């Protein structure tokens, strides 16, 4: 967003920006960053379960494992600041 700003491009006026992983910095930027939050703990737990089953010579899951993500709407997508959208989670 800094590079866009340096080139005279307005966020979110001209460009909507979305990140991924919801790092702590995202809510403290000059224009708060809309982001997708992943379930990090659940990912670790699931990875351990799959690895442990493989170590025990059990069959790993035959299908992909899909975990839910969450959309956290903030200013960089055009959501107004201070209206309850900062950090609000949308599934």
pLDDT at 84 > cutoff 60: no
Which SS3 state, helix, strand or coil, does residue 89 take?
A: strand
- Give the count of domains, the chain: 1
The DSSP secondary-structure symbol of 88 reads E
Residue of 8, 6, 2, 17 lying closest to 79 (CA atoms): 17
**Which letter does DSSP use for residue 61 in this model?**
P
Name the more confident of 10 and 29.
10
Q: Domain limits at 20? A: 2-90
Tell me the pLDDT tens digit for each residue of 48-75: 999 999 999 888 777 889 999 999 999 9
pTM of the model: 0.69
What whole-number distance in Å separates Cα of residue 82 and Cα of residue 68? 27
CA nearest to 29, candidates 42, 18, 44: 18
Tell me how far apart the alpha carbons of residues 34 and 18 are, in angstroms, rounded to a whole number.
Answer: 5
């Amino acid at each position: 967003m800094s590079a866009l700003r340096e080139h005279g491009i307005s966020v979110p006026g001209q460009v909507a920006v979305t990140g991924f992983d919801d790092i702590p910095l995202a809510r403290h930027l000059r224009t708060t960053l809309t982001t997708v939050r992943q379930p990090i703990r659940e990912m670790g737990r699931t990875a351990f379960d799959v690895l442990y089953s493989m170590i025990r010579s059990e069959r790993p899951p035959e299908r992909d494992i899909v975990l839910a993500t969450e959309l956290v709407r903030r200013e960089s997508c055009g959501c107004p600041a201070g209206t309850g959208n900062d950090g609000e989670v949308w599934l």
